[in-house]
Amino acid sequence: MKPDKPARNFRNKLAKTLGMLRYYKFQSIFFRYFRSVFSIILVIVSLFLVITYYMYDFSRKAEITLLIEKNFMQSANTLDLINQTIERDYLSVRSNEDILLLTGFSREYLEYKQRMTTAYSDEAVNGLALLKAGNRLYDTIYYYCPKNGYIIAWNQFIDESLFVDTDWIRYYHEYGDSEWYRIEPVGNRKTISIVKGIIVNSVLQGILVFNIDYSYMDMIMKMNKNDAIVAENGMIVMSDNEQLTGRQVRDFAGLSELYRMKTDSAEKYSIHTRRNTINMAYATSGKYTYLSQVEIKEFGNIKGSLFGILILGMSTSVLLAIVLSLFMAYNSYGNILNIISAFQASAEENGKLAEDKDGGSPEVRFIKANILKAVSQSASIEKAFQVKLQELKKAQSIALQTQINPHFLLNTLQIISFSIARETPKNKQATHIISIFSDIIRNLLDTRNYLIDLKTEISIAKKFLEIENIRYQGMFQTRWDIDPQTEDYIIPKCTLQPILENCIKHGLKYCPKKQKEINITVQAEPQGLVIIIRDNGLGMDAQTLRVLKARMAEPYLPESQHIGLCNVNMRISLIYGGLGELTVDSEAGIGTTVTLRIPAIHRYDLVDLAATERTDRQE
């Protein structure tokens, strides 16, 4: 097959241009352009790189400062909550009648009334034990009765002379209400001891000490290396730097100056930056001051970096100058015109040949600009499409989530109404129903995260089952078999509740069996996370099961009131694609089993994935 005329013309023009280049005309024009272009580009590129360098360094320091300040405030707020908890428990002990009665009795009276003493002491010990069990913050809690010399511990009522740990009593007599870091004589555990006296009518009735678990507090505070919590007496009761803990803040110049500036200021929070060090101080609602000094490292060596940038700028300028000079020289000899001819030849085959066959400089610029614009727009559209696709999946999942049958909410409100009307205003059941119902509503309305950890999902499901069991007057029992290792895996929000609602509504509600049960099993397998929900209710015959499976296989939600399983199945497909699966097995008179299989993704892996997606979007 012979080549067509436009193709032959193109090859002829190209050969002619190459022949002209052999006679050095291209080189002479090239060097003339190169001198001018190189000088201009070198200045522009060097300025651009230097400005970019300083802008990057400035923005980096600003972002790091903001992040450090945010983490500091989170830790400070945590410390405030700890103070409030301790103050609350102190008031609880102060108002405990059994403890106050023991405090007022003399040693002789206690020994004489042994049976009465045992009864009161057991109640007092139980009171402290409940405080300790209700908060992981406490390592031990002790209460000393000065009048009779006995100590009420969270696990015993014992004579002071037989008690091993009495340093806190001596410490109170020397310093009064105070806090200090110490190592307990039993077990050598690190603690932060908070000693408070209970004074009634100017008379010391008792001495209370809360020994806070240092390791647990260190875990929830997430402090930096040079952070310190300073008590009112100037002692550093907690720091990630072991050289600081247990010593006076005045012994350390930097922290001492920061502490003095904070105590002299009436403001609750202060921050200032000195060179590359961020100094922050926060006065808690209690008697503590939280200090932090964070050093921001310099972004490399300035002189070396600037020299490297200039070398990079010069190299880039040479490269750009060569490219641009080649382009302009090539354009001068008509090579671009030949390329336009080739485009015109290609357009002629499709019946779109341009009328102006000669072309020219304006046409060259027009074609090039449009080609580059099309490529750029295509890349932008592709990137935007991927972002929108992810957002669409999330929006569809949230939209499907909000379609959950609202009858549950109405029934719950009805239960609350009946309970309040039937019981006294102090009815605990009505109050409890309102509390757990509020937790469920709050979880349903929170659309910020459509994926949550399995522990939270199970907690909401248990609250839902509790309400339903109250509604049906203890009609069924629930058995949970949860692998503890699966609690941190993620699952789409509101996955279990629709399935459990189907168990109750279609399986157990009208079942004549006396013992009605729902069994939930969660386990991790090599293929992923497996959740099995089984009831012993009415079940379904083969025809009904086939209809249900066909409805679940449809790419849209059916327009009926039975959308629970279809809703969950569609959200699983949207989020996991072919990696997720929801199956239903049932037998009439035996019961129904729903099995959910999804990839086992840890919540920390999800945080890393989200960070990667944000980085990709920024790039």
Q: What is the pLDDT of residues 156-186, one digit of tens each?
A: 888 888 888 888 888 888 878 776 666 666 5
In the chain, % of residues over pLDDT 90 = 15
- Indicate the pairing of strand 451-453 with strand 476-482: unpaired
Of the candidates 179, 201, 217, which is a domain's last residue? 217
Is the CB of residue 489 less than 8 Å from the CB of residue 521? no
Is pLDDT above 60 for 338? no
pLDDT at 283 over 90: no
**420 plus 467 within the same structural domain:** yes
How far is it, in rounded angstroms, from Cα 258 to Cα 241?
17
pLDDT value, residue 358: 46
- Residue where one domain finishes, among candidates 241, 274, 295: 295
Domain boundaries, position 290: 223-295
Of 181, 201, 217, the domain-final residue: 217
Q: Are 447 and 577 contained in the same domain? A: yes
Model confidence at 348, pLDDT cuts 50, 70, 90, reads very low
The torsion of the CA quartet 390, 391, 396, 399, rounded to 10 degrees, works out to 150
Q: Which helix (H) or strand (E) holds 490?
A: strand 490-492
Residue 289 lies in a domain: yes
Q: What CA–CA distance (Å, rounded) separates 171 from 237?
A: 15
Mean pLDDT (the chain, rounded): 76
What Rg, from alpha-carbon coordinates, does the chain have?
A: 38
pLDDT digits (tens, 9 = 90+) for 503-546: 998 889 889 998 999 999 999 988 889 999 999 999 999 998 89
Is residue 357's pLDDT more than 50? Answer: no
- Contact in structure between 533 and 592 (CB atoms under 8 Å): no
| Contact between 437 and 478 (Cβ < 8 Å) | no
Q: Above 70 in pLDDT, residue 83?
A: yes
Bridging pattern class, strands 476-482 and 516-525: parallel
pLDDT tens for each residue of 552-606? 887 766 655 457 888 888 888 888 888 899 999 999 989 999 999 999 988 877 6
Lowest mean pLDDT among 81-85, 140-144, 184-188: 184-188
457 and 563 within one domain: yes
Q: Give the number of domains in the chain.
A: 3
What's 281-319 look like in SS3? EEECCCCCEEEEEEECCCCCCHHHHHHHHHHHHHHHHHH
- CATH code, domain carrying 285: 3.40.1840
Instruction: Quote the pLDDT of residue 268.
Output: 73
Whether residue 602 lies inside any domain: the answer is yes
pLDDT tens profile 22-62? 565 545 555 666 667 777 777 787 777 778 777 877 787 77
pLDDT class for 111, splitting at 50, 70, 90?
Answer: confident
Residues 181, 240, single domain; the answer is: no
- Residue 36's pLDDT is 73
| Adjacent-strand bridge partners of 478 | 518
Helix, strand, coil in percent for the chain, rounding step 5: 60, 20, 25
321 has a pLDDT exceeding 60: yes
Q: How confident is the model at residue 300 (pLDDT cuts 50, 70, 90)?
A: very low
Residue 112 CB-density burial (10 A; 0-12 exposed, 13-18 middle, 19+ buried): exposed
Q: Which residues of 461-497 are buried (b: 16+ CB within 10 A; e: fewer)?
A: bbbbbbbbbbbeeeebebeeeeeeebbebbbbbbbbb
> Would residue 13 count as lying in a domain?
no
Q: Is the pLDDT of residue 117 over 70?
A: yes
The answer to whether the pTM exceeds 0.85 is no
CA distances from 393 to 186, 396, 529, 566 (A): 57, 5, 21, 16
Residue 30 φ/ψ, nearest 5 degrees = -60, -50
Q: Kindly state the tokens that stand for 44.
A: 């522009």
